[in-house]
Amino acid sequence: MSPPLPQIQILNPDNLGKPLGPYSQVTRVKASEFLFIAGQVGADKDGKAPLDFEAQCSLVFANIGLALASQGASFANLVEFTTYLVHSQDIAKFMAYRTREFPKLFAGGAYPPNTLLVIDRLVQEQFLIEVSAVAALWRLLARHSGSPRKRRLRTP
Amino acid sequence: MSPPLPQIQILNPDNLGKPLGPYSQVTRVKASEFLFIAGQVGADKDGKAPLDFEAQCSLVFANIGLALASQGASFANLVEFTTYLVHSQDIAKFMAYRTREFPKLFAGGAYPPNTLLVIDRLVQEQFLIEVSAVAALWRLLARHSGSPRKRRLRTP
Amino acid sequence: MSPPLPQIQILNPDNLGKPLGPYSQVTRVKASEFLFIAGQVGADKDGKAPLDFEAQCSLVFANIGLALASQGASFANLVEFTTYLVHSQDIAKFMAYRTREFPKLFAGGAYPPNTLLVIDRLVQEQFLIEVSAVAALWRLLARHSGSPRKRRLRTP
């Protein structure tokens, strides 16, 4: 029998302001197996990046989808994004891209938390965007501290 | 009965140099449920940011406190910070802010590891500081490999 | 008896392009105890940084090794790196450094995912490189959803 799915809650607590884009404030995740996906850039399998920012965005998220799929996961498993842009002029384009495309990737508007940063440069001059991600795969079921009498568990 | 608290150890190993500010080198955490808090900026609930750097700092950490509180957690649950500033001139102010305020937020000087970075820009021009955070909520109790005879556990 | 080691798989899925340097695309990790290591800089125990970029690299990875060792872990426990450089001119040097040194640190070419970023500045002007890291220490063994009849576990 396969282990249970992780419990992932994508949250925008009432006591915080509204997110300033298509992302959420908090993920709460109960999981025992994780994926750490290195910053994915807007390049194809041969390492070639299109000149256009939006075309690079498409490749970045396609690559993240492929990385997830390779482990039997999907965008629903994501718990966190970090996005790096090299030109502040691309912030508006990135907002527009996500507003249009994220509803296709994430059901019900549950967009993972994202930290958006404008930095000097990525590993190669041609790259305009890079996104790293953390995903949750599986959850252990284990009993929590039961009645002392019956307790048979120990911690390291 | 509620599950056990996470075991969070905030450490400055002897074999490393002293931290260069109010942070620690390492967190060791045993937990099965985590919060990923997206980069919080120095804005109020209406998205307005004060001009003053220190006022933004106050809002950032107040917002992180609210995000934690929304899930029944507190600053004691934090395992990691990443801090982004847009002006290197604010580094000294950020040091002073933490030196003054962190003792109120963190008991016994157990300040979480923090990576401090100066970058080009945040999502809006008005923001001078953004902080993302990871917190640990709960821990599973499960037996570890016991005697083979009694072993009734399996891994996926 | 000590708890089982984490299961760490360093992966380069076939459906993604080859990594653009000595890192991997994905880590899949099953663990219940983690280390969060704050950005380590190229300084010695007294906080002094050599002028040379490569000498700083050596100190950074030595420091990460010390942080790991302080908790009984090694480079084999790493699941993720994030590397910050302040000069794009150092990218090639960083590639060369890793190509030469990483085979000594990581068995079998299993280099952890790394996000490489060029930013404006680190906490002090003298620092040319900073690396933060996440490591996995231990794994819980717990049974997964067994037959309903025998089920004695509960989740919070």
Picking from A35, A97, A22, A95, the residue whose alpha carbon sits closest to that of residue A66 is A35
pLDDT at res. C5: 78
Q: What is the ipTM of this complex?
A: 0.87
Q: Which residues of B touch A18 (CB under 8 A)?
A: 47
Residue A155 pLDDT > 70: no
pLDDT in tens, A3-32: 677 899 999 999 898 898 999 999 999 999
Whole-number Cα distances in Å, C115 to A39, A142, B130, C16, C72: 5, 34, 19, 16, 25
Q: Does A143 touch chain B (CB under 8 A)?
A: yes
Q: Which residues of B122-155 are buried (b: 16+ CB within 10 A; e: fewer)?
A: bbeeebbbbbbbbbbbbbbbbbbeeeeeeeebeb
Q: Which residues of A touch C80 (CB under 8 A)?
A: 36, 38
In sequence order, what are the beta bridge partners of B135? B35, B78
Cβ atoms of B44 and B59 within 8 Å: the answer is yes
- Three-state DSSP at B101 gives helix
Q: pTM (2 decimals)?
A: 0.89
Query: Across the interface, do A16 and B123 touch by the CB < 8 Å criterion?
Result: no
Of the pLDDT bands very low, low, confident and very high (cuts 50, 70, 90), residue A151 is: very low
Picking from A9, A30, A34, A39, the residue whose alpha carbon sits closest to that of residue A108 is A9
Handedness of CA A84, A88, A90, A94 (dihedral sign): positive
Which residue in the set B4, B69, B123 is minimally distant from A145, CB to CB?
A: B4
Q: What percent of chain B has pLDDT over 90?
A: 76
pLDDT in tens, B105-119: 998 889 999 999 999
Whole-number Cα distances in Å, A121 to B107, B110, B135, C83: 39, 34, 29, 12
Provide φ and ψ at C3, rounded to 5°: -70, 160
Q: Does B113 touch chain C (CB under 8 A)?
A: yes
Q: Which residues of B touch C3 (CB under 8 A)?
A: 144-145
Query: Across the interface, do C67 and B117 touch by the CB < 8 Å criterion?
Result: no
In sequence order, what are the beta bridge partners of B85? B118, B129
Q: Which residues of A touch B122 (CB under 8 A)?
A: 116-118
Q: What is the distance between the alpha carbons of residues C132 and B72, in angstroms, rounded to a whole number?
A: 28
Q: Does A96 touch chain B (CB under 8 A)?
A: no
pLDDT in tens, C64-121: 999 999 999 999 999 999 999 999 999 999 999 999 999 999 988 899 999 999 999 9
Radius of gyration for chain A, computed over Cα atoms and rounded to the nearest angstrom: 18
Give me chain B's average pLDDT, please: 88
pLDDT in tens, B19-61: 989 999 999 999 999 999 998 999 998 889 999 999 999 999 9
pLDDT at res. C41: 96
Query: Across the interface, do B123 and A15 touch by the CB < 8 Å criterion?
Result: no
pLDDT at res. B143: 46
Instruction: Write out the DSSP string of A93-135.
Output: HHHHHHHHHHHHHSGGG-PPPEEEEE-SB-SSTT--EEEEEEE
DSSP state of B4: P
Picking from B80, B106, A109, A134, the residue whose alpha carbon sits closest to that of residue C39 is B80
